[in-house]
């Protein structure tokens, strides 16, 4: 058995949580990440027969039956993950009936996975249907996107088009646009279901007055998506009080799509 502290997936979680903290996206216990692991990779670092604890789920996670995930812990701080991985995250495996999960490593001080676990699992289920290579769900509270949900219309098309215009690369990075949810209580199945509905055909969903969910096939992709949306929101919040003299027009956005051979969300561009 290899040393799990040297597992690439543990290192990636440590590096990513540290990076997100450094960017100010995860104050206190804010934010959570879950990462679907390749079973052979997981079993190279832990014994699949050693179950530390089993905890219930109150929705049907059976599409993920048998899957391993590394997940950040509830109530823990991203700034502390790299210094003590075993208390601040852990590896779980969804039980065959999808009604519970086993803890196989981590959560060593008695902690549990993130309060947003239902949303994460529902998002994994929804994204895997759209993209079998999907692996990562990432949630955090970046300053500018959070601020923008107070001052911008929450209509998805309007929000998306504003973001697309704030930086040339935006439409290339998220041509499907962003999903937007109105304010809701977090940490329960209802917000999980509402997010999963939107994540089916968006890789990023905003929670008004709360934060952002980004998904991807890799940690870099989910991180890069959030980073790009947050940068666009930063431009918006920076120029918000100033008279706009020029921007990126719809025909120019269409030119970008043509140049990069991507399909923007249908009906969003007036060309």
Question: Active-site residue numbers?
Answer: 116
Mark the segment that binds Zn ion (CB under 5 A) among 38-46, 63-71, 129-137, 205-213. 205-213
Question: Per rule CB under 6 A, is residue 87 in the interface with ligand 2HA?
Answer: no
Residue 223 vs 268, nearer CB to ligand 2HA: 223
Q: Answer for the pair 79, 129: CB distance below 8 angstroms, yes or no.
A: no
The single residue among 16, 111, 114, 160 that binds ligand 2HA, judged by CB under 6 A, is: 114
Q: In angstroms, what is the minimal distance from the CB of 97 to ligand 2HA?
A: 27
Return d(Cα 58, Cα 135) in angstroms, integer: 22
Residue 72 vs 167, nearer CB to Zn ion: 72
Return the CA Rg of the chain. Answer: 19
Q: Choose the contact partner of 227 out of Zn ion, ligand 2HA, none; CB within 5 to 8 A by kind.
A: none
99 contacts: CB under 8 Å, gap ≥ 6: 56, 57, 60, 61, 62
What's phi and psi for 179, nearest 5 deg?
A: -85, 150
Question: Per rule CB under 6 A, is residue 107 in the interface with ligand 2HA?
Answer: no
Question: Per rule CB under 6 A, is residue 115 in the interface with ligand 2HA?
Answer: yes
Question: Per rule CB under 6 A, is residue 224 in the interface with ligand 2HA?
Answer: no
Mark the segment that binds ligand 2HA (CB under 6 A) among 90-98, 113-121, 165-173, 227-235. 113-121
Neighbours of 22 (CB within 10 A): 11
Question: Per rule CB under 6 A, is residue 186 in the interface with ligand 2HA?
Answer: yes
| Burial track 133-152 (b if 16+ CB lie within 10 A, e otherwise) | ebbbbbbbbbebbbbbbeeb
Residues between 21 and 50 that touch ligand 2HA (CB under 6 A): 29-32
Residues between 134 and 153 that touch Zn ion (CB under 5 A): none
Residue 45 vs 101, nearer CB to ligand 2HA: 101
Question: Site residues (CB under 6 A) for ligand 2HA?
Answer: 29-32, 114-116, 139, 186
């Amino acid at each position: 058995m290899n040393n799990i502290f040297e597992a690439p997936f543990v290192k990636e979680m440590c590096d990513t949580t540290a990076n997100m903290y450094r960017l100010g996206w995860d104050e206190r216990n804010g934010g959570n990440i879950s990462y679907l692991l390749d079973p052979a990779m997981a079993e190279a670092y832990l014994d699949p027969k050693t179950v530390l604890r089993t905890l219930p789920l109150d929705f049907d996670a059976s599409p993920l039956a048998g899957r391993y995930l590394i997940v950040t812990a509830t109530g823990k701080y991203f700034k502390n993950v790299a210094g003590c991985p075993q208390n601040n995250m852990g590896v779980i495996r969804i039980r065959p009936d999808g009604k519970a999960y086993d803890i196989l490593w981590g959560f060593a001080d008695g902690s549990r996975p993130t309060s947003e676990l239902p949303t994460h699992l529902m998002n994994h289920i929804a994204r895997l249907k759209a993209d079998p290579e999907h692996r990562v769900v990432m949630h955090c509270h970046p300053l500018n996107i959070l601020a923008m949900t107070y001052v911008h219309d929450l209509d998805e098309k309007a929000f998306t088009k504003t973001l697309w215009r704030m930086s040339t690369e935006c439409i290339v990075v998220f041509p499907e646009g962003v999903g937007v949810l109105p304010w809701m209580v977090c940490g329960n199945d209802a917000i999980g279901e509402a997010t999963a509905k939107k994540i089916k055909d968006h890789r990023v969903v905003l929670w008004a007055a709360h934060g952002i969910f980004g998904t991807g096939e890799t940690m870099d992709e989910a991180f890069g998506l959030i980073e790009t949306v947050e940068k666009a929101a930063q431009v918006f919040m920076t120029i918000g009080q100033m008279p706009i003299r020029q921007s990126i027009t719809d025909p120019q956005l269409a030119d970008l799509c043509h140049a990069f051979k991507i399909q923007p969300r249908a009906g969003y561009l007036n060309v």
